[in-house]
Amino acid sequence: MKTTVPESHVPATRERERPQCAVSGRSRSRLAVRALPAALVILVSLGRCTPAAGQNGDELFQDFRGGKPLHPSLRWTGTDGDDLIAPDERGLRIKLTADSKRKDAVGVLLAVPVKGNFEVTAGYELIDVNPPTTGNGVGFELYVMTRTPTQEAIAFSRVKRADASDVFSCTRATTVEGRRRYQSNQFPAAARSGQLRLSRSGGEAVLSAAEEGGAFQELCRFDLGVEDLKMVRVGAYPGNVAAPVEVRLLDLKVRSEQPMPGLAADLNPTTEGSPAVPRRWLVVVEVLGVIVLLALGALGAWVYLRRRRAAEPAAEAPEDPPPAAATPSAVVAFLCTGCGKTMRARASLAGKKGKCAHCGTPVLVPGDGATSTDIKRG
């Protein structure tokens, strides 16, 4: 039996129209999400440019080149009025004569305590260094001492010895039964300029040297303890005798894991006409960068997920039905192949697919030009 029924609507799916643009919203979201690892790498690199001593640490840097003034927390030490100390474009020149009354190092001293793990690096140049007749050798020295009753200390120097050999000298000093005791090691040296570095992690001190811009090479290690440093000194070293020596100090950097009490603000420019940036401001900038990065990452992820959720149901959503016709038109009736329920669709939709309103099974609207269909019930 053929039956003509009033019009009903089974939607036919069609491709969803997409906006025509160079980069879609979803692509922009994906690019934002994929850019997160690269941004993190950049922030980590920036973090490495800041002092590695710790977020609450301190750093002192003195560049002696260009006649720069002395850092407020540094002071002269060992001078007796007969020494020549002259800043110039290449550094701080120190010249000791054979008539000098003092026999220890002449140079600059850090006047504030250094706590916890630290790293001290000093650049030097040997100008006029001849073999002494006696003593421990003449040249350049980096010296540290802890705040302990036994005055635990390390003397790290680049010297020329009485036998005319050039060496790096590493000496550990302590006090036993009221007398100073020393443990020394020497390592061959060649260049007349370079850097000395003394760092402490836990209670162990590591002594390293670099010559003429080369890489640092570890020379030896000593047990120094964990007590605060009460002295950091760099300067010309006459070898504990009245021997002539002339050196040039290039720079000094002291980095501490903990704050250095009383450390004055660095007023020296890092480059000509540009004031030094305090370390605390570098930390603030880094933290703000992390916050901005996280905010951008969260925004990109939110936009991406929002567009994805909006796009998935839209592919299956039926179109809004057209306005109802003024008069009924021919429809076809057929059975759902999934649940067997009766379905109706306009004859003009013949050959197109739709979904069963009861079970959601995709069905094909029958065609062949019929305006109705036989409905058979099993």
Alpha carbons 291 and 297: distance in angstroms, whole number: 10
Q: Same domain for 258 and 240? A: yes
CA atoms of 95 and 139, how far apart (whole Å): 11
Q: How far apart are CA 114 and CA 258, in angstroms?
A: 8
**pLDDT given for residue 92 in this prediction:** 93
Is the same domain home to 305 and 161? no
Kindly compute the dihedral angle of the four CA atoms of residues 260, 147, 237, 124, in this order, to the nearest 10 degrees.
-30
Q: Give per-10-residue mean pLDDT for the chain (378 aa).
A: 41 44 51 55 48 63 92 84 80 87 85 94 95 88 96 96 94 96 96 97 97 95 96 91 89 94 72 46 75 87 81 54 54 83 83 83 72 41
Residues 200, 76: one domain? yes
What phi and psi values does residue 28 have, to the nearest 5 degrees?
-60, -40
What's the pLDDT at 214? 93
> Whole-angstrom Cα distance, residue 140 to residue 234?
8
- What is the token pair recorded at 15? 């491709």
Could you count the other beta carbons within 10 Å of the beta carbon of residue 214? 11
Last residue of a domain, one of 263, 290, 314: 314
Neighbour count for residue 101 (Cβ, 10 Å): 9
Contact 162, 134 (CB under 8 A): yes
Q: Which residues contact 155 (CB under 8 A, 6 or more apart)?
A: 141, 142, 143, 169, 170, 171, 173
Strands lying side by side in the sheet with 74-77: 74-77, 106-110, 229-237, 138-146, 153-160, 166-176, 179-188
**Cα 184 from Cα 161, distance rounded (Å):** 14
Task: Tell me which residue has tokens 């370079």.
Answer: 194
Q: Are residues 348 and 294 in the same domain?
A: no
User: Could you tell me the CATH number of the domain that includes residue 98?
Assistant: 2.60.120.200
Using the 3D structure, point to which of 237, 271, 305 is the last residue of a domain: 271
User: In the numeric block, which tokens belong to residue 122?
Assistant: 């000093």
Cβ distance 228 to 260 under 8 Å? no
**Same-domain pairing of 239 and 288:** no
* Domain residue limits at 134: 57-271
How many structural domains is the chain composed of? 3
Q: Which residues contact 285 (CB under 8 A, 6 or more apart)?
A: none
77 and 122 belong to one structural domain: yes
Together in a domain, 115 and 181: yes
**Is the domain of 260 the same as that of 163?**
yes
Determine the Cα–Cα distance for residues 56 and 245; give it in Å rounded to an integer.
40
Q: What per-residue confidence (pLDDT) applies to 336?
A: 87
DSSP assignment string, 119-151: EEEEEEEEEE----SSSS-EEEEEEEEESSTT-
365 and 222 together in one domain: no
DSSP 281: H
The backbone torsions φ and ψ at residue 167, rounded to the nearest 5 degrees and listed phi first, read -140, 160
Question: Which pTM was predicted?
Answer: 0.59
What is the rounded CA–CA span in Å between residue 147 and residue 201? 17
User: Tokens representing 127?
Assistant: 């100008």
Residue 29 shares a structural domain with residue 126:
no
Q: Are residues 257 and 172 in the same domain?
A: yes
Contact 172, 151 (CB under 8 A): no
- Considering the domain architecture, whether residues 43 and 78 belong to the same structural domain is answered as no
Three-state DSSP string of 40-109 = HHHHHHHHHHCCCCCCCCEEEEEECHHHCCCCCCEEEECCCCCCEEEEECCEEEEEECCCCCCCCCEEEE
